[in-house]
Amino acid sequence: MTGGNRVTIEPVRDKRDLGRFIAVPFDIYRDDPNWVAPLNFERRQHLDRKRNPYFQHAEAELFVAVRDGRPVGRISAQIDRLDQERQGADLGHFGFIEAIDDPAVFDALFEAAEGWLKARGIGRVRGPFNFSINDECGLLIEGFDLPPVFLTGHARRWYADHVEARGYAKARDTIAYRFDIRGEPLPAVARRLVDRTRNVPNITVRPLRMKSFDEELRIIIGIFNDAWSGNWGFVPFTQAEMDRVASDLKMVLRPEFGQIVEMDGEPVAFGILLPNMNEAMADLNGSLLPFGWAKLAWRLLGGRIRSCRLPLMGVRSHLHSTAIGAALAFMVIDRIYAAAAQRGFREAELSWILEDNLPMRRMIESAGGMPYKAWRIYEKSL
């Protein structure tokens, strides 16, 4: 209760409810020039239980907070069986948190989400995840004054205070690094390491083979799931999930934006670069009608995007903490950023990296990356 105005929580049950759920942040960020509206059709697909392969191993409930007939917040509660296999059967998640600056709204939303989880035997909740750690995850705590890069989250400054007031504590922070790629992408020490490794006859670096993209996808999944399997919170990509990612992004992916390193003919490292689609979508207000699709296509094909993001990268786990492993990672960064600079990109974001992944952070910083954003993943016992 605030000022006598009651907050009610309504679960999403039909297309109209889903539309309200998707629309909530449009009011929340109306006066925030840095927020970029997601495309409505993409959000509907992502939230669709029949179309998002996440639901092959998970279940979720979506809630909208309403006051005086007006949506004022939203939240999700979800249970991911793949996550539970690694993190424990008592773990659930929350996500998609957006709300006005009012403790009553946050209280009502979290009471609904936590109640749904407790009714299903959940004793710990972690988040935000939209829906998975492999989607947008974490609550922005640093970097509010800059627009989000494609597939990363934005937030209002009051969110963290309200979440913490509900008893949530930090589990981990994740960090984004920014690179200026208009000059030499690697410092001298890394350049010498890459040059020495490049001359090793059993090591080759190659771009994606788009004509055999399905096979390339299997290679990438295999390296990624092995490379990150020891990371906190890791959940493997399923083939169906990677197929969906590939389908969504194939139109913006160029062969040189993906690089695979092979040793003795075996793939051991990779990286994938994506144009920052948020630049192209910033003024579309979530809609491709009536002419948004034409603007989007023209900006993508016309080289109007000036920034990019490296969201997927990995080196086989048996090469971690070795000089050759570091060299392979530098080789991937070097090739991808050279291709990006040739395409007219000026800066790149590498995200996200766990705060306590110190070997990776040292490598990124030695390659010239500057930390500039951070997101927090919270946890609470129910």
Cβ atoms within 10 Å, residue 201: 6
Q: Quick one: pLDDT at residue 2? A: 40
Structural domains of the chain sorted by starting position, each given as residue range(s) with its CATH number in brackets: 9-175 (3.40.630.30), 178-373 (3.40.630.30)
pLDDT of residue 250: 75
Choose among 79, 91, 130, 128: nearest CA to 381: 91
Helix residue ranges, H only, the chain = 15-28, 40-47, 81-87, 103-118, 159-165, 188-198, 213-227, 239-249, 277-281, 292-301, 323-342, 358-366
What token pair was written down for 67?
A: 């006051």
* Per-residue pLDDT band at 303 (split at 50, 70, 90): low
**Structural tokens at position 218:** 């299997």
Give the separation between CA 157 and CA 34, rounded to whole angstroms.
13
Q: How far apart are CA 256 and CA 211, in angstroms?
A: 13
Task: Look up residue 339 and give its two tokens.
Answer: 């291709």
C-alpha span between 320 and 73 (Å, rounded): 43
DSSP 180-247: E-SS-SS-HHHHHHHHHHHT-TTEEEEE--GGGHHHHHHHHHHHHHHHTTTSTT--PPPHHHHHHHHH
Q: Which of 154, 138, 76 is nearest to 375 (CA)?
A: 138
**Global model pTM greater than 0.85:** yes
Are 274 and 257 in contact by the 8 Å Cβ rule? The answer is: yes
Tokens of 274: 């994506």
The single residue listed with the structure tokens 């055999």 is 212
pLDDT score at 304? 78
Average pLDDT over residues 56-80: 97
Q: Among 53-62, 165-174, 191-200, 286-295, which stretch is predicted with the lowest mean pLDDT? A: 286-295
pLDDT at 53 (0 to 100): 96
Query: Taking 70 as the threshold, does the pLDDT of residue 298 lie above it?
Result: no
pLDDT mean over 177-189 = 80
For the segment 356-378, the average pLDDT, to the nearest whole number, is 91
Determine the pLDDT at residue 3: 40
